[in-house]
Amino acid sequence: MIAYATSIKYMLAGYALILIVLALYLVSLVIRWRNLKRDLRILKEIQKKSN
């Protein structure tokens, strides 16, 4: 049998890791969305000026 203290430590590490990976992915989605929105705005401005 695995000792309770050891078992709790690894369980918390496992769930912390799951939350961190999911959070990082969500942050990456938000950052990429914002960057693309900015690029789109700039490109539309350039297009307007050239027309």
Q: What phi and psi values does residue 38 have, to the nearest 5 degrees?
A: -65, -45
Give the sign of the dihedral formed by CA 14, CA 18, CA 21, CA 24: negative
In angstroms, give the least distance from the CB of 2 to other proteins.
Answer: 5
**Binds other proteins by CB under 8 A, chosen from 6, 48, 49, 51:** 6
Euclidean distance between CA atoms 34 and 10, whole angstroms:
36
Kindly list the residues in this chain that would bind other proteins in the complex (CB under 8 A): 1-2, 4, 6-8, 10-11, 13-15, 17-18, 21-22, 25, 29, 32-33, 36-37, 39-40, 43-44, 46-47
